[in-house]
Structure 1
């Protein structure tokens, strides 16, 4: 085991080995993903480390749709090597497809770097692991209208028409705004990694969260 993986394992063991409830003030970036196949919702959120070292962990929890998420409870799932699950989609009622960013992952000969099957309770995760090449921010846009085509999502802003491929898109929906990220594999000196671009979309009064239901978006929640 490498020193980095050993360090991560020690911190995870500390976090999971404690019987005390999670301090709710350490919980942030909470979103949920409703299943289109059953009455369950997946919750993804970040728990900051309460210690001076360590950056915390992103965890998952799956609950019945009508059950309130208890963010202080320690019954949750963490992917291998503290990888970050940036993309999650339900495949059926008990299987989810996940793309993860490896913690401190380096550029590699190919992406995904590896694949894996992981299980937690009644759920199966089909996982692809990637490393990051770059990330950037493309600014804020006031959106006047939007629509879906077969493979595309289109937004019309006050100054631009934005067009995104559905299979390279991550959506986090809030009541009056959308955090949107695109991702693709880029190459640098024969090595590959994922490049991310972020957009902040301010939606008008005609915006409805349910309009994006078919895309299985993340929905922002308050811990």
Structure 2
């Protein structure tokens, strides 16, 4: 969820539309066309008893176009389970809210995925399959934190630009009464995912160290995002490029596997995301 899409989605509450590359209910339209065809008469009667053949195909196209336009302005679409991917959850420290991050895949060849953010009350079950979500502009967040029941997210801009500082732009938005601060960066580089099996981990000077008998990885918690899965940990690190600081961040990705069963509860104070299996 951290790579930029080909095209940005507007930072608004989700609503199905062609303009935002959402998934149109094509199956519903197909069913409608079949049903409408059965209902349309083959002939129509004019005054004086004259008959003329109805142009059924032309009428069908008009009706289809009419309902297509209406669909752009109504919130009647339901997403399929297969379209919802990369679900992650973060509870607020106050236990008032849960925020879910996920991707909504487009069902159209020319569309792009939507980076979705949904906020619900703590332990309330979210509905991933309707359009009630906040669209995260730019990339999906590569870091997210709760601060006094408000959210701070960091995203990568779709626009490549040379900035004097990072983040080069900050947006303030509100969704379901929660203020969302979006710090927007540019990206200079990204790496392939590095994997490591570890035997132990510990904290030291605001760093988290994962180690095995031969090697270790050290992560600065202030420049990292941790996500915890069923039997693995994902870490994304970010920092300004050493030589071209005004050109964006270097992002690195790690997937860590514990050799034995471990308790990760002491990582909770760093607000790790929980990876949800869909």
What is the rounded CA distance, in whole Å, between the counterparts of 1:149 and 1:169 in structure 2?
15
What is the rounded CA distance, in whole Å, between the counterparts of 1:13 and 1:119 in structure 2?
23
What do the CA deviations read for 1:131-151 (whole angstroms, capped 9, x no partner)? 111111352111110012341
Among residues 62, 65, 86, which one is paired with 1:29 in the alignment? 86
Among residues 11, 25, 35, which one is paired with 2:19 in the alignment? 11
| Aligned residue in 2 for 1:87 | 143
Among residues 134, 146, 156, which one is paired with 2:201 in the alignment? 146
What is the rounded CA distance, in whole Å, between the counterparts of 1:43 and 1:146 in structure 2?
27
What is the rounded CA distance, in whole Å, between the counterparts of 1:209 and 1:105 in structure 2?
37
What is the rounded CA distance, in whole Å, between the counterparts of 2:231 and 2:244 in structure 1?
41
Alignment of 1:57 onto 2:114: yes
Task: Indicate the structure (1 or 2) with the bigger Cα radius of gyration.
Answer: 2
1:190 CA drift (Å): 6.9
Compared CA separation, residues 140 and 158, structure 1 to 2 (3 A) = farther
Gapped runs of 5+ residues in structure 2? 1-5, 11-17, 24-71
| Aligned residue in 1 for 2:259 | 204
What do the CA deviations read for 1:91-125 (whole angstroms, capped 9, x no partner)? 012x1111111124334332111012111121001
Among residues 145, 151, 154, which one is paired with 1:96 in the alignment? 151
Indicate the SS of the match to 1:52. coil
Q: Is the 8 A contact 1:176 1:204 kept in 2?
A: no
Gapped runs of 5+ residues in structure 1? none
Among residues 214, 222, 225, which one is paired with 1:159 in the alignment? 214
Compared CA separation, residues 52 and 176, structure 1 to 2 (3 A) = same
Compared CA separation, residues 190 and 32, structure 1 to 2 (3 A) = closer
What is the rounded CA distance, in whole Å, between the counterparts of 1:190 and 1:90 in structure 2?
27
What do the CA deviations read for 1:40-86 (whole angstroms, capped 9, x no partner)? 21100001111111221111001122222211021100134x44222
Say what the alpha-carbon RMSD is for the aligned residues.
2.3
TM-score under structure 1 length normalisation: 0.87
Give the structure with the larger strand fraction.
1
Alignment of 1:40 onto 2:48: no
Alignment of 1:133 onto 2:133: no
What is the rounded CA distance, in whole Å, between the counterparts of 2:234 and 2:245 in structure 1?
31
Q: Is the 8 A contact 1:176 1:207 kept in 2?
A: no
| Aligned residue in 1 for 2:131 | 74
Alignment of 1:171 onto 2:179: no
